[in-house]
């Protein structure tokens, strides 16, 4: 199912099914039913180490309320999410002596999302760590302007 359809469907449901929350691996971590290597938390968000790191120190940040992706991410009442991410990322970089980091989020299966509970990845990066970045595409004549118009029209 596409991300858009996913979100429309979710909005049309009065609440996320209890089934999804009960079975969700990250909700289980939040409830303490399965362990995690917690690194930081507040009332609304939790940060812990990814069990299969892209580089060692790879951390995940999740909202404590179950949601699927960025488009239905809860509006935090108290947490400044950017500050939360910066705090965790700075500690990861310092602890790993990284040269940089990637902040990433996979939204939808096509984008590589496997766990259906929204999460941000903080991946420490090292000069020449061998990770290859995404290849780039070229727009044909006028295609970029067309795309710009289409997106602007939806905002």
Chain contacts with Zn ion (rule: CB under 5 A): 24, 26-27, 66, 117
Q: State the minimum distance, in angstroms, from the CB of residue 126 to ligand AMP.
A: 18
Residue 6 in contact with ligand AMP, rule: CB under 6 A:
no
- In the block, tokens 């289409």 appear at 150
Instruction: Judge contact between 36 and 70, C-beta under 8 A.
Output: no
The set of residues, in sequence order, having a beta carbon less than 8 Å from that of 42 and lying 6+ positions away, is 78, 79, 84
| Total number of residues that touch ligand AMP (CB under 6 A) | 11
CA distance linking residue 2 with residue 80, whole number of Å: 29
Q: What region does 62 belong to: left with phi over 0, alpha with psi -120 to 50, or beta? A: beta
Name which position in 25, 103, 144, 147 contacts ligand AMP (CB under 6 A): 25
Q: State the minimum distance, in angstroms, from the CB of residue 32 to Zn ion.
A: 14
Name which position in 24, 50, 66, 108 contacts ligand AMP (CB under 6 A): 50
Q: Give the residue with the Cβ less far from ligand AMP, 95 or 115.
A: 115
**Residue number closest to Zn ion, CB atom:** 24
Determine which one of 117, 119, 121, 136 is catalytic. 119
Residue 36 in contact with ligand AMP, rule: CB under 6 A:
yes
Name which position in 15, 19, 43, 52 contacts ligand AMP (CB under 6 A): 52
- DSSP character for 151? H
CA distance linking residue 7 with residue 13, whole number of Å: 10
């Amino acid at each position: 199912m596409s991300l858009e359809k996913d979100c429309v469907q979710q909005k049309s449901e009065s609440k996320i099914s209890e089934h999804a929350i009960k079975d969700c691996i990250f909700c289980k971590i939040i409830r303490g039913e399965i362990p995690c290597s917690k690194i930081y938390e507040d009332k609304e968000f939790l940060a812990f180490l990814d069990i299969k790191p892209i580089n060692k120190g790879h951390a995940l940040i999740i909202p404590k309320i179950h949601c699927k992706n960025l488009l239905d991410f809860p509006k935090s009442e108290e947490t400044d999410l950017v500050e939360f991410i910066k705090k965790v990322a700075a500690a990861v970089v310092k602890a790993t002596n990284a040269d940089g980091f990637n902040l990433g989020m996979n939204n939808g299966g096509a984008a590589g999302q496997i766990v259906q509970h929204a999460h941000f990845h903080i991946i420490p990066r090292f000069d020449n760590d061998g990770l290859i970045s995404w290849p780039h595409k070229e727009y044909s004549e006028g295609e970029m302007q067309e795309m710009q118009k289409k997106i602007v029209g939806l905002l």
